[in-house]
């Protein structure tokens, strides 16, 4: 505790002896009182459920009879589900599209915004507005925008520039890109603010030095700004991958997984196993798939951090 | 000893560990002028010398126009359209989505949404959920961080590790077992299921390691001399917490509050699962549910009403929001 304060030595000695009486006298009870809310909520609502998740993936659980051990049956059942392949492919497709469309935009916008000298505050506020809109409202509103009739909001805009109406959510081909566009719109503002904060911490001397060496604006952006943002970009990249691997709200509210299962994602499948099952919740299969997804993401992040660490230090 | 005598406000502000995020709003820049290291942030890729070239000046004007057009269209456009559509009759919205009230304004949409589809009640439910989530998160985050940062009992290291470890567990793992915990709570049993009880939303949200990490980092950065002086003066752990630590921690408490309220307002899947009774559901759960039985104009009015509070909060506390967003990145990074 207070190692330098004059009051500390006797107290530390008391704590080292460690009988219940000295623990009490040194304020152990009040320390515990402060720790208790955290310990209780984490114990009941975090640590225990995490452990229980692993246990349940090897059990058959329903709410009426005690759980029974079934070995790896749940995992076998999940792996034999013909929808799993579709869900994994769709999730990968979503993640890939989100990377291609959504990842570079915030970096570009933040760099441009950090260059303007006036209106930065207004621009940041405008960029952040979509993040403030509740996600459910955003999805429901975009569902109206995606109206497939020629007089739908987006189709009217497309019509004005001479593009024929798109089916958006109605067609298996365009449904997933539509989801990604909305998700990108909803998330870009948060990333822009984070990149703006990172841009502020680029040491000004680096730009001065580059100018002394006669670097052009492009070379400064490429050789000073981007390398300085490298670590933030690495972290944002893995965070986005982790988030898109668990995408749920957009497919659930936009399409419910349709049309023709084109937007069934892994998380939607987990939800269906557990909560949309006509035979009662199959909690075993749901936790088995969650555990597999979590393990995959853990391995992915570990490998990713190993790799990026090597790149950052070299 | 009164708290005021030992709480030097400026030093508390200086102790804020990570620098506030972007120098975004004018007001933010003005208040930060006290900290010189952050004010010369005007230095960026394009230098003053570059800016004197006509070519660069034209390009920068182009950047301004590009940013203004894109951000107004993407950031403000959908909201303005929603505001317009909320008071437009259904047929006008469907036939000419961009026409400004060809057949007049229909203000009745708003009152219909508010009264007939009970948006008022769901609105109130949302506020109750957000308020409770805020209170529980603040309680757990401050007392927990105080334990880990200031009191540091012997088990603090283990506790710290266990709490931080949960940051690395994807939340999807929790979904089913947490749901079963609510249906069949420990110590209480199935007869006291927490389904349809707001505690089922508040308490799991309070088990938030990110909050604890944020607040703990802030407490770690508080001046130790003040804490030690208070202890020498005989302040016990409760007094130290309430009269010294908390008053010095207003900036971080603001950040955690914004995170807590926004997260509660946004939450969809969890309240959908644990609050099956429509009478207690928040807006985010009710809006998709009422969509199919509601006329489009009234539904859009309901969406507009659901957006007003978060937008208003953002406009009022813009600085805290943007700093929180930047800070979130700084901690993650």
Distance between B18 CA and the closest CA of chain A, angstroms: 11
Q: Does the N-terminal peptide bond of residue A259 adopt cis geometry, omega within 30 degrees of 0? A: yes
The answer to whether the Cβ–Cβ distance between A34 and B241 falls below 8 Å is yes
Q: How many other C-beta atoms lie within 10 A of the C-beta of residue B173?
A: 23
Per residue in B120-169, pLDDT tens?
Answer: 899 999 999 999 999 999 999 999 999 999 988 888 899 999 999 888 88
Contact A7 B232 (CB under 8 A): yes
Q: Whole-model pTM?
A: 0.83
Shortest CA gap A40–chain B (Å): 9
Q: Where do the domains of chain B lie, and which CATH numbers do they carry?
A: 117-293 (1.10.3720.10)
Q: Is 50 exceeded by the pLDDT of residue A58?
A: yes
**Residue B117 sits at the chain A interface (C-beta within 8 Å):** no
Output the six-digit token pair for A22. Answer: 């000295």
Taking 50 as the threshold, does the pLDDT of residue A227 lie above it? yes
What would you measure as the largest C-alpha separation in chain B, in angstroms?
Answer: 76
| Burial zone of A138 (CB within 10 Å; 0-12 exposed, 13-18 middle, 19+ buried) | buried
Q: Is the bond preceding A262 in cis, omega lying within 30 degrees of 0?
A: no
B214 to A56, A195, B143, B329: CA distances (angstroms):
32, 19, 13, 12
Task: Specify the 3-state DSSP secondary structure of A68.
Answer: strand
| Model confidence pLDDT, tens digit, residues B167-198 | 888 888 889 999 999 988 887 777 788 899 99
Query: Which residues of A, range 95-134, sit inside 8 Å of B by Cβ?
Result: 109, 111-117, 119-121, 123-134
Interchain pair B22, A197: CB under 8 A: yes
Say if the Cβ atoms of A125 and B97 lie within 8 Å.
Answer: no
Q: Do residues B218 and B13 make contact, with C-beta atoms less than 8 angstroms apart?
A: no
pLDDT digits (tens, 9 = 90+) for B52-107: 888 888 888 888 899 999 999 999 999 999 999 888 888 888 888 887 877 778 88
Comparison of pLDDT for B292 and B29, the residue scoring more: B292
Q: Which of A40, A200, A284 to mutate to test the interface with B (most CBs of B within 10 A)?
A: A200
In angstroms, the Cα distances linking B76 to A4, A9, A46, A255, B220 are 55, 61, 38, 25, 40
- In chain A, the domains with their CATH numbers are 74-313 (1.10.3720.10)
Strand partners, A60: A68
The owner of tokens 């009739």 is: A149
- Name the residue facing A34 among B21, B143, B224 (closest C-beta): B143
Which phi and psi (to 5°) does residue B67 adopt? -60, -45
Rounded to 5 degrees, what angle do the CA atoms A19, A20, A26 make? 90
Lowest model confidence (mean pLDDT) among A3-12, B4-13, B279-288, B323-332: B4-13
Mean of pLDDT values over A220-231: 86
pLDDT at B16 over 50: no
Q: How far is A162 from chain B (nearest CA, A)?
A: 17
């Amino acid at each position: 505790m207070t190692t330098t304060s004059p009051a500390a030595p006797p107290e530390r000695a008391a704590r080292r002896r460690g009988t219940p009486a000295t623990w009490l006298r040194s304020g152990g009870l009040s320390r515990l009182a402060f720790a208790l809310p955290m310990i209780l909520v984490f114990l009941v609502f975090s640590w225990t459920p995490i452990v229980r998740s692993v246990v349940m993936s090897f059990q058959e659980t329903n709410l009426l009879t005690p759980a029974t051990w079934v070995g790896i049956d749940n995992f076998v059942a999940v792996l034999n589900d013909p929808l799993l392949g579709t869900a994994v492919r769709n999730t990968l497709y979503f993640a890939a599209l989100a990377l291609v469309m959504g990842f570079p935009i915030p970096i570009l916008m933040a760099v441009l915004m950090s260059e303007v000298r006036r209106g930065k505050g207004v621009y940041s506020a405008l960029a952040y507005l979509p993040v403030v809109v509740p996600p459910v409202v955003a999805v429901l509103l975009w569902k109206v925008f995606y109206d497939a009739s020629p007089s739908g909001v987006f189709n009217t805009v497309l019509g004005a520039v001479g593009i024929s109406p798109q089916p958006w959510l109605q067609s298996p081909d365009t449904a997933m890109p539509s989801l990604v566009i909305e998700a990108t719109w909803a998330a870009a503002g948060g990333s822009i603010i984070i990149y703006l904060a990172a841009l502020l911490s680029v040491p000004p001397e680096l730009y001065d030095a580059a100018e002394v060496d006669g670097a052009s604006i492009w070379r400064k952006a490429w050789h000073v700004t981007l390398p300085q943002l490298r670590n933030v970009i690495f972290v944002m990249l893995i965070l986005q991958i982790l988030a898109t691997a668990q995408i749920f709200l957009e497919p659930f509210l936009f399409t419910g997984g349709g049309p023709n299962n084109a937007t069934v994602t892994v998380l939607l499948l987990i939800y269906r196993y557990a909560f949309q099952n006509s035979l009662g919740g199959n909690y075993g299969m749901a936790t088995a798939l969650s555990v597999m997804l979590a393990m995959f993401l853990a391995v992915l992040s570990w490998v990713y951090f190993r790799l990026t660490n090597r790149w950052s230090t070299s | 000893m009164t708290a005021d005598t030992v709480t030097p406000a400026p030093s508390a502000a200086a102790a804020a560990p990570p620098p506030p995020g972007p120098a975004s709003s004018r007001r933010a820049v003005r208040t930060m002028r006290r900290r010189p290291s952050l004010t010369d942030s005007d230095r960026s890729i394009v230098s003053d010398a570059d800016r004197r070239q006509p070519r660069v000046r034209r390009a920068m004007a182009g950047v301004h126009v590009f940013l203004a057009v894109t951000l107004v269209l993407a950031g403000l456009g959908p909201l303005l359209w929603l505001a317009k559509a909320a008071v437009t009759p259904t047929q006008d919205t469907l036939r000419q989505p961009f026409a400004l009230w060809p057949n007049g304004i229909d203000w009745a949409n708003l009152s219909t949404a508010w009264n007939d589809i009970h948006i008022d009640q769901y609105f109130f439910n949302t506020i109750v959920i957000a308020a409770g989530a805020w209170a529980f998160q603040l309680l757990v985050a401050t007392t927990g961080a105080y334990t880990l940062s200031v009191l540091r009992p012997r088990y603090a290291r283990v506790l710290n590790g266990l709490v931080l470890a949960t940051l690395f567990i994807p939340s999807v793992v929790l979904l089913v077992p947490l749901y079963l915990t609510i249906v069949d709570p420990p110590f209480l049993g199935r007869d006291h299921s927490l389904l349809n009880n707001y505690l089922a939303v508040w308490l799991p949200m309070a088990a938030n390691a990110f909050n604890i990490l944020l607040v703990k980092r802030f407490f770690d950065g508080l001046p130790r001399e003040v804490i030690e002086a208070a202890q020498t003066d005989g302040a016990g752990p409760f007094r130290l917490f309430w009269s010294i630590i908390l008053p010095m921690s207003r900036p971080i408490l603001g950040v955690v509050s914004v995170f807590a309220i926004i997260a509660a307002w946004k939450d969809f899947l969890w309240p959908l699962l644990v609050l099956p009774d429509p009478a207690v559901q928040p807006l985010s759960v009710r809006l998709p549910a009422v969509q199919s039985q509601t006329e489009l104009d009234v539904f859009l009015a309901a969406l507009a009403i659901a957006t007003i509070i978060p937008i208003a909060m953002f406009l009022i506390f813009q600085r805290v929001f943007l700093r929180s967003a930047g800070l979130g990145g700084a901690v993650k990074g």
